Amino acid sequence: MQSDASSRTELTDATIADSEATIEQLKELRFNEKNLIIYSAPGINDELSARYLRSFAFVTFKRRSPGFIGDLITVLQNREPEIIEECGDYAHFDLKRTIWSLELLRKEMLNNDEFQIFRVKAPDTESWNAFLLGLTEDRRQWFSAVWLHAECYMYRRIWSIFQRSDTLANYDYFGEQKTSAARSLTPLMRDILEATRKLPRSQENFQHLLKLSAWANRCDLSITTEGPDAEIFHRIAEYDADLLADQSADIWKDLTEACEPVYVDIVCDNAGFELFADLLLAEYIVESGLARRVRFHAKAIPWFVSDVTHQDFHWMLNYFRKHDLPELRAFGRKIRGYLRDRSFILCDKSYFWTSGHDCSQMKRVQPCLYVYISDSALAIFKGDLNYRKLLGDINYKSTAPFADCLRGFQPTSVCALRVIKSDIYCGLPVCAVEWLTEDNPEWMTAGKKAVIQVAIKHRLSSDTVV
């Protein structure tokens, strides 16, 4: 009898599970039909959007981003005592309102509601609202907007929610994740520092550090918590097999032939280990005489979880300067010296990097920033998001030349160092995408392949601004 009862229970459970799965499938079908979801993949030159079922953008707004907001709410709830200690007792009430607003944002996304204009006063409120109002009606919803626009809007909305409270306005809700990740990699950073002291000027050494900076882009907390290989510095040559495009030799040639004064701009991506690798590259560029000055562009607000803010940049500098390990302490002091003599510059906050605009619009919406970058011999754009801003989230043919896909954005030589974590690319060898997809249909989001690409713009000595 027990066996029969057990069988009936198992059958009932299976039936319920099947019914729930069927209900979920029907909900999905109704959602797709209501929101005109397209079942085919994006076509060549189409803008990437969550309206395409077979796209990473669809996965982002259907699952990843709602889950991310849910996780952020959980973190805020769990860290309430620490937040109150840091921000004051009234933060308890501000947290309740903030969590409620985040839950509303999550529901708006899942319902594919229309984007709202921003009400909280901030330096970029007017420009963001002008951007939103300039979009056509069908481009102001989560699943029909250009993916880049919608994802940037989400992070801007999150920041706006925190700005509505007095106690949490200056709180970096991603800060603990970034500092914890950096601290955990201290032994690796020390080992790399030991191996890179007093490297002579050579093309080989430059390319090695450039590739380290590229592969450090794997450390992206919005995608993965996986840290870098403990032997990454010594295994860079082995990583060449996964470099789908490698123009590092062209970048060396461009820098060595550049007219004086030579400046290099680095548009940063992730804090922690990637920022460390960027600082190492910048140190080598200055010490080897490849450039007189390296200028860093950081985000003005917390962005895509682990992106470098000005606060993160200063935190890492202070972390090194005050560390017990002599290698880190000496490096921190050297970086501080470079900042003092302006060999390194942490550029003033620009809200262009946290806007919805892609780089082809920079000359129009931020002409001063465009002119500033024009002053450099090379602008290095780090990471996946900056790559998307360069290409405007357009689904170019995979073999289309990188320079052509910039759509006129070339204030100077533009370099992209990027580990591929989204389904957008260009400048790849013939049939590379087809072969990779046959091996692994999800290769473009796995973070195992990378590119080093450059669009060269030769400057005349008369073009430079001292």
Q: What pLDDT tens digit does each residue of the chain (466 aa) get?
A: 556 666 656 656 666 666 777 877 888 899 899 989 999 889 999 999 999 999 999 999 999 999 999 999 999 999 999 999 999 999 999 999 999 999 999 999 999 999 999 999 999 999 999 999 999 999 999 999 999 999 999 999 999 999 999 999 999 999 999 999 999 999 999 999 999 998 999 999 999 999 999 999 988 877 766 778 889 999 999 999 999 999 999 999 999 999 999 999 999 999 999 999 999 999 999 999 999 999 999 999 999 999 999 999 999 999 999 999 999 999 999 999 999 999 999 999 999 999 999 999 999 999 999 999 999 999 999 999 999 999 999 999 999 999 999 999 999 999 999 999 999 999 999 999 999 999 999 999 999 999 999 999 976 654 544 3
Rama region for 449: left / alpha / beta (φ>0; ψ in -120 to 50; rest)? beta
pTM of the full structure = 0.93
**Coil/strand/helix, residue 447:** coil
Residue (of 226, 186, 106) closest to 154 by Cα position: 106
What local confidence, expressed as pLDDT, does residue 2 receive? 53
What local confidence, expressed as pLDDT, does residue 4 receive? 64
Q: Across all residues in the chain, what is the average pLDDT?
A: 93
What's the chain's length in residues? 466
User: What does the pLDDT look like over 384-414, one tens digit per residue?
Assistant: 999 999 999 999 999 999 999 999 999 999 9
Residue (of 40, 162, 184, 37) closest to 99 by Cα position: 162
First to last CA, the chain: 91
How far from 50 is each of 29, 84, 115, 303, 341, CA to CA, in Å? 15, 38, 15, 20, 47
The type of residue at 306 is S
Please report, rounded to a whole number, the percentage of residues in the chain having pLDDT higher than 90: 87
Residue (of 231, 102, 113, 100) closest to 158 by Cα position: 102
How far from 81 is each of 77, 218, 305, 375, CA to CA, in Å? 9, 32, 21, 47
Q: DSSP strand E in 214-279: where?
A: 243-246, 263-267
Q: Dmax over Cα atoms in the chain, in whole Å?
A: 94
What local confidence, expressed as pLDDT, does residue 465 receive? 45
User: What does the pLDDT look like over 12-34, one tens digit per residue?
Assistant: 666 666 677 787 788 889 989 99
How far from 361 is each of 125, 293, 355, 455, CA to CA, in Å? 18, 26, 11, 18
User: What does the pLDDT look like over 308-328, one tens digit per residue?
Assistant: 999 999 999 999 999 999 999
Residue (of 263, 259, 253, 254) closest to 374 by Cα position: 263
